[in-house]
A and B are shown apart, each in its own frame.
Chain A
């Protein structure tokens, strides 16, 4: 049994947003973090590992420096990493990305008891499309917006968050789950995990590794294989967050804290 977790390195939105002349984001100029929802997906996989001793594989598509993120996830407890990286993959939108990630997950191999975990959505694109598309392309049952997972034999009882309630589902493995932050609190890297993480394997899957998969065609990956294009990226004008004050005492307290009175 193993847990395969798809993760993405995203720009740290706490920092400043850099945009290139062609309207796309200048990722190289921005600090990066692991996408927050993906950390919940990794934590879900690690809890499954704590419970069952299963293997946890973290997969990302990105430029070579994304290896650093995979090392950090190994330091949290993942067993190995897969870095999907190649010029042919550059410029992929969600459709092309899910083609490539699905081929990578295929290459890793999805066994009858395995679970693929994804974060709900990435904070850069906010599409929430890649996880569901991977599931479709791998013909796996999928449950999105997962807030609770219980393992019962060969199936999972999963709680799914909806806008005005929740849904409880039973799903057979193999399956794909997209996770939200209410699911768990991601653990920290441990000191021993950090000092061991460079001894654990990270495989690099490039175009040649994946090219024989039927999902990988020149017109299904990269910029050429992307039906959508970014028209423009921009940082919205900064607007101070407003706040509702309950009563005068609270207002006086705030002004006092700011040394205005």
Chain B
């Protein structure tokens, strides 16, 4: 596997690093402490093409590649996990399913505005009673001739408070499976914030990624035009699962970035912090901790980049799937992020436990990567499922 970055990839990485350092890092503490959704950062990222990195120019994208997108999430997450997930959810969970499943009209209507950042995107699958059991959907959509009527609610929706476009998964009827048992027929829809009967509920008070806008969505006799069905009727569950395969690469990149950012902070701290008359970096415990964490972070990085390259090959026309690569990347990167941030905090000692240093925020931000877009247990189901097929 060749991870040599192309000249363009080296240039985007350089730009992301400068942008993260100058524009994102100074806001990270406020974003966390005040649950502040960094609107101005989103506008700046949009101007630089970061809200549609790997989509082609024809649909308004920046004409980049999947690895350049993954590196954007990674670099932003090094300094602010919230900023990383804003890009990831917008790109992977909203723009990507429209790009991959939309009609030419849907692509023309939504992608230029999403890629330019004029509109922000979100994705609604999870419900109060349908988390990991995503097939237990209660939201339903009824075909009423010239429109669809949606009823139900979604929870824990990333970007919800600021999103203009939502991909909503809903039940559209019942079908009989191969053995003649009744099954829910699930479909995907594009819903706009201004559609009648659509409401965004109150934001969640979260442990980490506190600036990320996570809200409930409520649909009460929500009326949307017929042409908002995304993909094939009855294939919504498959669409959601394929979308999450891509989303997991973004979250894996977020986890990777958080772990790398924590290590960067820790390396600087242990050189400066003195105990027993010398820097704590002179102690073998510190050195061995850093060494093992670095090796684990690099291992995670290879899995994340591998998944990105696999998705790129599919974008380039290869007939392949990247579910397993994405699941492996997310499983390992998320576990590494939680583990590394916790161990880094230990090296910071008492200071690390205070909010004067970013490390406790990074530890809180890391935890969500083991939960959303499929828990680590779901990733293991995906990986073992493919092994035991």
Point out the residue from B14, B63, B68 that lies within 8 Å of A196, measured CB to CB: B63
Interface of B: prevailing SS = helix
CB of B18 closer than 8 Å to a CB of A: yes
Point out the residue from B18, B48, B273, B351 that lies within 8 Å of A191, measured CB to CB: B48
Interface of A: prevailing SS = helix
Chain A interface extent, by class: 10 to 19
CB distance from A131 to the nearest CB of B (A): 26
Per-residue A-contact encoding for B1-37, CB less than 8 Å = 1, 0 else = 0000001100110110011000000000000000000
Given A190-B47, A190-B48: A72 in contact with B19 (beta carbons within 8 A): no
CB distance from B111 to the nearest CB of A (A): 14
CB of A198 closer than 8 Å to a CB of B: yes
Beta-carbon contact of B18 and A75 below 8 Å: no
Point out the residue from B7, B14, B48, B272 that lies within 8 Å of A198, measured CB to CB: B7
Q: How far is the CA of A92 from the CA of B61 in the complex (A)?
A: 44
Beta-carbon contact of A189 and B11 below 8 Å: yes
Chain A residues near B63 (CB, 8 Å)? 191-192, 195-196
Chain B residues near A75 (CB, 8 Å)? 11, 15
Chain B residues near A196 (CB, 8 Å)? 63
CB distance from A34 to the nearest CB of B (A): 12
Beta-carbon contact of B12 and A194 below 8 Å: yes
CB distance from B359 to the nearest CB of A (A): 15
Per-residue B-contact encoding for A177-211, CB less than 8 Å = 1, 0 else = 00000000000111111111110000000000000
CB of A8 closer than 8 Å to a CB of B: no
Report the number of A-B residue pairs with Cβ-Cβ less than 8 Å.
57
Q: How far is the CA of A71 from the CA of B14 in the complex (A)?
A: 13
Beta-carbon contact of A191 and B68 below 8 Å: yes
Q: How far is the CA of A194 from the CA of B272 in the complex (A)?
A: 37
Chain B residues near A198 (CB, 8 Å)? 7-8
CB of B226 closer than 8 Å to a CB of A: no
Point out the residue from A191, A258, A259 that lies within 8 Å of B49, measured CB to CB: A191
CB of B57 closer than 8 Å to a CB of A: yes
Point out the residue from A72, A188, A191 that lies within 8 Å of B62, measured CB to CB: A191
Per-residue A-contact encoding for B51-63, CB less than 8 Å = 1, 0 else = 0010001000111
CB of B321 closer than 8 Å to a CB of A: no
Chain B interface extent, by class: 20 to 34
Q: How far is the CA of A196 from the CA of B11 in the complex (A)?
A: 12
CB distance from A20 to the nearest CB of B (A): 28
Q: How far is the CA of A74 from the CA of B49 in the complex (A)?
A: 15
Chain A residues near B50 (CB, 8 Å)? 191
CB of B278 closer than 8 Å to a CB of A: no
CB distance from B85 to the nearest CB of A (A): 19
CB distance from B5 to the nearest CB of A (A): 12
Chain B residues near A258 (CB, 8 Å)? 272
Beta-carbon contact of B18 and A188 below 8 Å: yes
- Minimal Cβ-Cβ distance residue in A for B44: A188
CB of B274 closer than 8 Å to a CB of A: yes
CB of B197 closer than 8 Å to a CB of A: no
- Minimal Cβ-Cβ distance residue in A for B53: A191
Per-residue B-contact encoding for A71-90, CB less than 8 Å = 1, 0 else = 11001000000000000000
Point out the residue from B47, B64, B273 that lies within 8 Å of A195, measured CB to CB: B64
Per-residue B-contact encoding for A231-260, CB less than 8 Å = 1, 0 else = 000000000000000000000000000110
CB distance from B60 to the nearest CB of A (A): 10
Q: How far is the CA of A189 from the CA of B8 in the complex (A)?
A: 11
Chain B residues near A190 (CB, 8 Å)? 15, 47-49, 62
Chain B residues near A197 (CB, 8 Å)? 8, 11
Beta-carbon contact of B62 and A189 below 8 Å: no
- Minimal Cβ-Cβ distance residue in A for B60: A192
Q: How far is the CA of A118 from the CA of B126 in the complex (A)?
A: 56
Beta-carbon contact of A195 and B274 below 8 Å: no
Beta-carbon contact of B8 and A195 below 8 Å: yes
Per-residue B-contact encoding for A58-80, CB less than 8 Å = 1, 0 else = 00000000000001100100000
Per-residue A-contact encoding for B342-358, CB less than 8 Å = 1, 0 else = 00000000010000000
Show 22 residue pairs from A and B whose CB-CB distance is below 8 angstroms, ordered by the A residue. A71-B7, A71-B11, A189-B15, A190-B47, A190-B48, A191-B49, A191-B50, A191-B68, A192-B49, A192-B61, A192-B63, A193-B49, A194-B8, A194-B15, A195-B8, A195-B63, A195-B64, A196-B63, A198-B7, A198-B8, A258-B272, A259-B274
Contacts from B to A (Cβ < 8 Å):
7-8, 11-12, 14-15, 18-19, 47-50, 53, 57, 61-64, 68, 72, 272-274, 351
Contacts from A to B (Cβ < 8 Å):
71-72, 75, 188-198, 258-259
6 A-B pairs closest in CB distance: A191-B49, A191-B62, A192-B62, A189-B15, A194-B11, A195-B63
- Beyond known contacts A193-B49, A198-B8: 12 more, CB 8 A cutoff: A191-B48, A191-B50, A191-B68, A192-B57, A194-B8, A194-B15, A195-B62, A195-B63, A196-B63, A197-B8, A198-B7, A258-B272
